[in-house]
Structure 1
Amino acid sequence: MNGADVIDIARDAVYTLLIVSGPTMAIGLGVGLLIALFQALTQIQEMTLTFVPKIIAIFLALVLFMPMMGAQMGDLMARLMDRVATGG
């Protein structure tokens, strides 16, 4: 295995990481922005107000996107094992 192979594997892993974590992070960001807007409009400055809605939204996003996440990670593992089996 040379440097180009390592860089190719790392690129594939980072791309898979972005695909797997992207939807959940985007939903967390969206809920956080909505809560911040709500706090700004109502002038309620409670720090703990953001935690419960974000936790619930991220949990629901994980449940919703889990099949896609598992498929992406399984595909990455299959590609890595194919490289190991073929030796390149």
Structure 2
Amino acid sequence: MKILVDEKDELQVAFENADLGIVNMVARKLVDDKDVDYAACDYTHPLEKTVVLSLKCNSPKKKLIKAVDSLEATMEELKAAVQATQ
């Protein structure tokens, strides 16, 4: 992970060798937050596996951590549900 932009109300983070789907889940969780002005992700180039997440809001690092924590909890619930079917 490499921070490209780190300002009061803007954050851009590059994830090398990342899957767009995973980073898109984070962006989607951020978009659902009413305090987030903008969140999106995209590849830097179609042939590269670097995904850039862009985020605009107050305290973007805190919002990013909150979104990742929320997704982690969701994945744990999914894991438990799948394990319950075994």
- Select the structure that is richer in strand: 2
- The structure number with the bigger radius of gyration is 1
TM-score (norm 2): 0.36
TM-score (norm 1): 0.36
- Select the structure that is richer in helix: 1
